[in-house]
Amino acid sequence: MAIKNSQIALDDPRIKAAMVELQALIQHHYPAAIFRETVGEDPEGAYLIVTIDVEDTDDVIEVYIERLLELQIDEGLSIYVIPVRPLDRVSV
């Protein structure tokens, strides 16, 4: 869900650079990953949604979690990454 009047801007140079870096980290291990950037509100921040065809998204998280925490804690960026499986792979 997008936020109106948010302090988070996807075109902010720091946010853009962090998003590009996180995408590169993930794509290095998962070249077929599909990325979508959005602004979210719970918590408020920039979100990188990664659609990736894997059995366990925890494996994907291991690829970027250390750098994501550095970006959040050390650099104060409100960035979140959410790996999701393609709809046709999700059990109903």
Q: What are the structural domain ranges in the chain?
A: 13-86
Taking only the tens of pLDDT, the chain with its 92 residues reads 343 445 678 889 999 999 999 999 999 999 999 999 999 998 999 999 999 999 999 999 999 999 999 999 999 999 999 999 998 765 55
Q: To 5 degrees, how large is the angle CA 83–CA 87–CA 88?
A: 130
At the top level of CATH, which class does the domain 13-86 belong to?
Answer: alpha beta
Give the separation between CA 60 and CA 83, rounded to whole angstroms: 7
How much is the pTM?
A: 0.85
Instruction: Fill in the amino acid letter for 13.
Output: P
Give the separation between CA 20 and CA 25, rounded to whole angstroms: 9
Give the separation between CA 53 and CA 19, rounded to whole angstroms: 20
On whether the CB atoms of residues 21 and 28 are closer than 8 A, the answer is no
